[in-house]
Structure 1
Amino acid sequence: MFEGAVAGILNRLLGKYVQDLDTENLNVGIFSGNVNLTDLKLKPEALYELDLPIDVKIGTIGRINLQIPWSGLYTQPVVVNIEDVLVLVGPAISNSYFDPEREKRLMRAAKRKILQDLEAESEILKGPQNFFENLFTAIVDNLQIYVRNIHIRYEDSISSKDGPLACGLCLQSLSIETTNSKWKPSVTPPNALTVYQMMRIESLSFYWNPTATALDDNETAHITPIQYYNWKHYMLTGLDKFSMHHEDFEFCESIFVTYWITLFNTYELREAN
């Protein structure tokens, strides 16, 4: 019964963001306790819930692996591994190319978001609510998440009269693990009053290139398999070489250092008051 509820939630969650989701493979993996999805392509409206005037031009997740220990959910962690999250976003409105199908998808996404905001999550879970709540609490308390290779790039060919610009986020790895009070990997015992979770972030950087090489909407809308492969290669190598199309990334270190110092000082001031 619980496996079916989890399958429904994951199908609904991934279905919002992933094109042509293989639901049969997903359901089989969930019931076996080992979900393995590869080369997932993101929908243009995948980031619509951010309420920003952008859409996904090209987006892919190389691999999602979900390990669910059905026989020991209270004593063993659920492990999520995500690799190669590569996303190219751009302005939702373009002067060079109009795709009526994309506009229809965006409108459907807006309507779907309104409906989902009105729906109660209890409609998904049919059964004794206390049981589900306790089990979900145990899963979340012991969840382990490992993400490798994230590159999100924004390209804009219409906002600047000086030509295309690009900015992006690069992240080599991110992990979230449940630990004990000494920050050693552990499992949270039932009815624990305190949950310890440790997050590690490695090689996080932001870049801003006021002049850059950018793909136009016509290229991204009709991308060929070879172009798609080359794009993934450029995005992945950008994480290692910090450059794309022979253009070095211009990092925003001073901007973000100033931002974090300001944020920290503001927090201290509020605490003092």
Structure 2
Amino acid sequence: MLERVVHQVLLGYLGRYVKDFSRDQVKVTLWNIEVELKDIDLILEAFDYLQLPFALKQGRVGRLSIKVPWSLIGGEPILIALENVFFSVSPRDDHEWRMDAIETRELAGKKAKLAAAELAKLSRRVCADNKGGWSFIPFVTTKVLENIQVSIRNFHVLYSDLQSNSEQVSFGLRFSSLTMLKQNSVGLRMGQVSKVVEVEGLEIYCSICKDAAKDLSLSNTGGSESWFNSHRVGDKSEHIVEPFNVSLSLLVNRSEKLNDLLQYSISAKMTCLVVSLNEIQLQQILVLSDYLSTSQLREKYGRYRPWSSPLSRKEDGWQRLWWHYAQESILSDVREKLKKTSWRYLGQRLSNRRKYVNLYKTKLELLRQDQPIDESLIRDLEQMEKESDIDDILSYRTAAEHELQEVLLKSSTANFSVEKSRLDGQSSGKSRGWLNWLSRGMLGAGGTDDSSQFSGVVSDEDVQDIYEATKFYPPVLSGIDADTNDKIYSRAIEFSIDEISATIWSMYVSLPLSLF
């Protein structure tokens, strides 16, 4: 059942994003699944896979409410409500650009990409017999979109930077409410889903605080309201974009025959957009842009930088350390290009392939037999994944899966029947492997340490289970229809703004320059 999928995914995601989360906090009633959490602290490490150029200092949610009805298909919607959502970010400290920190983020990002690739593989396996161009993942996406309603009240992202002149510069994005509801189905064709997203009080501001000791973002005192209100725009001149309302209309088409319809259509409407900028805000925007550009280079070369010898101190031997830093940064790119053409690299790659395939086959066999995986095996695989490219890892996994399938096909019919009977008996009271994997590490959410539980080999029974759980029964379309689908545009975006007002003004000149 799809409800079981949602329950498993809900438990997996909350456990990886919410500190001190317990399964007991999920209440299963006769009518629905309910989650009610207050004053939540988010796990900051859960966002490492995004490889953001900023350091996430704080993430809090005043209230989180989730209600999932049992009758998902054609029944009541999934209700998600959040209140007083607050994120605080800042430039990364020097120690966050060291080799170990960069490699941790790189590994988390690589695991997320591997999980996404495995999800795409699962989608292809589910749609293996589909000749009409249907895709499983878009089907599930639109199915969830059709049955979900989201409400967010008070959302605030604060970026703060303590500069050398003891001034604290703050950029912020806020909105007072966001609601996503299903639009009236009158006039919609079969298979179309229409959602309306209403955002109120959306604003962007930039302010400079002379009292740098007053760190607004890191206060641990007060309730959820104080987190959200950690920065109130007191002066109208601090606004870059003054508060405005926006209405988004999303139309998704998932009908059997798309004809000339668009698959995704987004329409945005804003009544009035007022932009105001002074010379100090412009300067800080340029500083922020420069930091973003530098962050890309530091993510790549920061591991070679001599952080123990900053240029501000210029200790003995600093010239040699910084020359070594420049040398290693340049040579790292040269070595990366040259090593792929060397015989040593080719030999090492063949050796790594054999080793990884054997280890991965062992893991798949243990998962197939529902046996625990040895910690040393997980460490060896993780170390090889850390050193290998994503394309190589996916190639190794595919080879291991094919070899394992060949071994299973060559096994005797009697032994296979007994084994299948035993495994079916074990799985009768629990979710299948694909479901466990989906709930533990899909797309790298919250770290993907447990995503290794997915066996990778999806059997016909698993495919049938997915069909029944999600009500996904792709029709076999004719060759003409399939060719028509290939010519359909995938997206359309339309913006409508009634009025735009832009003002560039100076804090030292009384007459501003206005553009309309």
TM range (shorter): 0.5 to 0.7
CA distance in 1, matches of 2:213, 2:107: 26
**Structure with the greater relative contact order (CA < 8 A, sep ≥ 6): 1 or 2?**
2
**Per-residue deviation at 1:94?**
4.6
**Who is 1:235 aligned against?**
227
Measured on the aligned residues, the alpha-carbon RMSD in Å equals 4.6
Task: Give the alignment's TM-score, normalised by structure 2.
Answer: 0.38
Helix, strand or coil for the counterpart of 2:71? helix
Question: How has the CA–CA distance of structure 1 residues 209 and 43 changed in structure 2, closer, same or farther, with 3 Å as cutoff?
Answer: same
**Which position in structure 2 is the counterpart of 1:270?**
none
Task: Give the structure 1 partner of residue 240 of structure 2.
Answer: 252
Q: Is the 8 A contact 1:29 1:35 kept in 2?
A: no
3-state SS of paired residue (2:93):
coil
Could you tell me which residue of structure 1 aligns to residue 157 of structure 2?
152
Structure 1 residue 198 displacement after superposition = 1.1
Q: Distance in 2 between matches of 1:84 and 1:29?
A: 27
Match of residue 112 from structure 2? 113
Q: What displacement does 1:228 show?
A: 1.1
SS at match of 1:21: coil
Instruction: Choose the corresponding residue for 1:170, options 159, 170, 174.
Output: 174
Distance 1:75 1:202 in 2: 29
Q: Secondary structure at the match of 1:57?
A: strand
Instruction: Evaluate the alpha carbon distance shift between residue 44 and residue 213 of structure 1 in structure 2; reply closer, same or farther with a 3 A threshold.
Output: farther
Answer yes or no: is the 8 Å Cα contact 1:41–1:61 preserved in 2: yes
Distance 1:104 1:49, change over 3 A: closer
Q: Which one is further off, 174-183 or 43-52?
A: 43-52
Supply the AA of the counterpart residue of 2:34: N
> Conserved in 1, the CA contact under 8 Å of 2:240 and 2:275?
no
Q: Which residue pairs with 2:41 in the alignment?
A: 41
Give matches, 1:99-110, under 5 Å: 106=105, 109-110=108-109
Match of 1:143 among 148, 151, 155: 148
Look up the equivalent residue of 1:44 and give its one-letter code.
Answer: L
Counterpart secondary structure, 1:147:
strand
Q: CA deviation at 1:98?
A: 10
Instruction: State how far apart, in whole Å, the 1-side matches of 2:179 and 2:157 are.
Output: 18
Alignment deviations for residues 129-168 of structure 1 (CA, whole Å, 9 cap, x no partner): 999997774442131111001111011114x546221111
Query: What is the identity, as a one-letter code, of the residue corresponding to 2:180?
Result: I
Paired position in structure 2 for 1:74: 74
**2:66 maps to 1:58:** no
Partner of 1:22: 22
2:10, 2:41 → 1: CA distance? 16
Q: 1:271: which partner in 2?
A: none
Which amino acid counterpart does residue 10 of structure 1 have in structure 2? L
Looking at structure 2, the residues matched to 82 and 169 of structure 1 have their Cα atoms a distance apart, in angstroms, of 17
Letter in 2 for 1:91: P
2:206 corresponds to: 208
1:40-87: per-residue Cα shift (whole Å, max 9, x none)?
212223444443211221211111111122135313211111111011
Could you tell me how far apart the structure 2 residues matched to 1:102 and 1:28 are? 40
- Displacement after TM superposition at 1:120 (Å): 1.9
Secondary structure of the residue that 2:52 maps to in structure 1?
A: coil
Any gaps of 5 or more consecutive residues in structure 1?
A: 221-226, 266-273
Equivalent position amino acid for 1:59 in 2: G
Q: Which moved more, 1:71-80 or 1:145-154?
A: 71-80
Paired residue total? 241
For 2:137 and 2:70, how far apart are their aligned partners in 1?
14
The answer on 1:90 being equivalent to 2:95 is no
Counterpart for residue 180 of structure 1: 184
* Alpha-carbon distance between aligned partners in 1 of 2:208 and 2:75, rounded to the nearest angstrom: 51
C-alpha spacing 1:146/1:73, structure 2 compared with 1 (3 Å): same
Alpha-carbon displacement from aligned partner over 1:161-215 (angstroms, at most 9, x marks no partner)? 46221111111100010011569xxxx9xx8332221111111111111445557
Q: Return the letter of the residue paired with 2:75.
A: T
- Counterpart of 2:112 in structure 1: which amino acid? K
Q: 1:50 to 1:23 in 2, by over 3 A?
A: same
Identity of matched residues, %: 25
Secondary structure class of the residue paired with 2:12? helix
Give the conservation status (yes or no) of the 8 Å contact 2:51–2:105: no
Larger Rg: 2
The whole-number CA distance in structure 2 between the counterparts of 1:31 and 1:61 is: 26
